[in-house]
Structure 1
Amino acid sequence: MLSSLEKRNLGVPQLPGQGCSFHSFHTNTYKLSFMETPSGIKIILVTHPRTGDLRDPLKYIYNLYVEYVVKNPLYTPGTPIRFELFNTALDQYVRSLS
């Protein structure tokens, strides 16, 4: 049974990356890092198994998504993302992580 404190906190909006206890898992061949935003956007990176914590880079990638996709008046939610500026910025950022 939930305490009264827990009941008051149900449904409270959280910042991207908060409220989720699953951030990553690894095998001997890869590491999967995961972030789900309050709006339901899921960002996943598959990297080398010894890659460190990627929570901050996942938040940065989400911010790129917001700037280049969500704020773009030509984007229709639910359609494939085909914006060269987003693809270029994302590619440059991911390459800078290695």
Structure 2
Amino acid sequence: MAIYALWVINKAGGLVYQRNFADGLAQLTSNEYLVLAGTLHGIHAITSRLSPTGSSSGAQVIESESFKMTIHLTATGTKFVLLTSLAETTAESVLLKVYEAYADAVMKNPFHTPEMPIRTEGFDLRITSIIGTGHT
């Protein structure tokens, strides 16, 4: 079981935080990460409208043959995305801890501008303590 990467996407679909935890993960350019975040934001918006039974919060898990993406949507529209191995069972609880760290270390920081890239050392330290190297 492994955690490969964490992304934070703002309510407009912009990537405000990205961190890899696996050495073998393909390295993308900054522009490719931004395009990926915007695409995921659009897919999430579309999936929230596809529910045949009424309202939906959109895709929560997207699986491929070799990894899965778990998405946590906040009440403000910020998305926390965790890329993990298929066998990883703790993604939801990890995302809740990441969200708590975001609320404490980023949103309470008077020098952080909302919806802008996260450059808070306290957040990085909390993410390291939550996820570590990504191997559980």
TM above 0.5, one fold?
A: yes
TM-score normalised per structure 2: 0.53
Q: How does 1:1-98 map to 2 (within 5 A)?
A: 20=57, 22-95=59-132, 98=136
Q: Which SS does the other structure have where 1:66 is aligned?
A: helix
Once the two structures are superposed, what CA deviation does each residue of 1:1-25 show, in whole Å capped at 9, x if it has no partner? xxxxxxxxxxxxxxxxxx6363212
Q: Which moved more, 1:46-55 or 1:35-44?
A: 46-55
Q: Work out which structure has the larger RCO, using CA pairs closer than 8 Å and 6 or more positions apart in sequence.
A: 2
Distance in 2, matches of 1:42 and 1:27, equals: 19
- The unaligned stretches of length 5 or more in structure 1 are 1-18
Once the two structures are superposed, what CA deviation does each residue of 1:65-94 show, in whole Å capped at 9, x if it has no partner? 000000111111122111111101112211
Q: CA RMSD in A?
A: 1.9
TM-score normalised per structure 1: 0.72
Q: Which SS does the other structure have where 1:32 is aligned?
A: strand
How far 1:28 sits from its partner (Å)?
1.7
Aligned pairs, how many? 80
Q: Which moved more, 1:32-41 or 1:21-30?
A: 21-30
Change (3 A) 1:79 1:58: same
- The unaligned stretches of length 5 or more in structure 2 are 1-55
State the 4+ residue runs in structure 1 displaced beyond 4 angstroms.
Answer: none
